[in-house]
Structure 1
Amino acid sequence: MEAIPGYATTKKIEKEGDGPGIAKGNNVTVHATGVVKETGKTFWSTKDPGQQPFSYQAGVGGVITGWDQGCLGMKVGETRLLEIPAHEGYGAAGFPAWGIPPGGTLFFTLECLTIQ
């Protein structure tokens, strides 16, 4: 895992992509799968039946901090694993409705589909 400067979240490129990388303010569409490190349970996946790829504006706080910063630089076709500590994820409260415990560390696998 590689450090993201200024953050506790770390990243690992699992598959290289092509073209320019995601920059702050880009509109991005990704496939995303989130797993709670402590339990090994998947709490969300855009690849599950009935789910759709997720679109958001990168680097502006529209998603949790670890994801928001961890996606920057990704290229179309790239798959990246993020390890996001609680304080850059859902914090001390967690997100019980999704099965994320208080102080839970998250693994997110992101696959960049489009960058605009």
Structure 2
Amino acid sequence: MTTLPTASGSFGDKPELTFPEGGAPSGLQVQVLSEGNGPVVESGRTIVVNYLGQTWGGHVFDNSYDRGTTIDFPIGVGAVIGGWDKGMVGQNVGSRLLLSIPPEHGYGARGVPQAGIGGGDTLVFVVDVVDVK
């Protein structure tokens, strides 16, 4: 079994990821770092989150913590990468999650070169589920 990265801090804190030896796991991996007790995120709702996104073993390409504001978007309806749609639905508000998203559920073979995401990169996100509307 491939181990997932560990994340520092707790809900609301900007995390730092520490990666294990070896490569990224295959398939979508969702680990609940701390379980919230708020409403369940349902497909078609708008989710409000703080997040940090990093390539596996590489650089942080985006994070909302430094901007000091959450981001919200529809979930479960194809508005975001598949790994978010699949990994976030069914989670509770107030949870901190670690998502390891393989390219087929992320940006695929194209990547996002302007963000420094290569084709075939596995993405790792730490996501704080702040609210659902």
Question: Which category of TM-score, normalised to the shorter sequence, fits these structures?
Answer: 0.7 to 0.9
Alpha-carbon distance in 2 for matches of 1:31, 1:67: 13
Among 51, 55, 61, the residue aligned to 1:43: 61
Gaps in structure 1 of 5+ consecutive residues: 2-7
Among 13, 24, 29, the residue aligned to 2:48: 29
TM-score by length of 1: 0.87
Alpha-carbon distance in 2 for matches of 1:38, 1:32: 17
Q: CA deviation at 1:52?
A: 2.3
Which structure 1 residue ranges, 4+ long, deviate > 2 Å from structure 2?
Answer: none
* Range that drifts further, 30-39 or 77-86: 30-39
Among 79, 103, 116, the residue aligned to 2:120: 103
Alignment deviations for residues 18-70 of structure 1 (CA, whole Å, 9 cap, x no partner): 1321010111100011010042x10000001x352110111000100001110
Q: Report SS of the residue matched to 1:70.
A: helix
2:87 is the alignment partner of 1:56 = no
Alpha-carbon distance in 1 for matches of 2:100, 2:34: 16
Residue 4 of structure 1 aligns with which residue?
none
Alpha-carbon distance in 2 for matches of 1:21, 1:68: 14
Among 70, 78, 84, the residue aligned to 2:95: 78
Q: CA deviation at 1:108?
A: 0.8
* % identical aligned pairs: 34
Gaps in structure 2 of 5+ consecutive residues: 4-26
Q: Report SS of the residue matched to 1:66.
A: helix
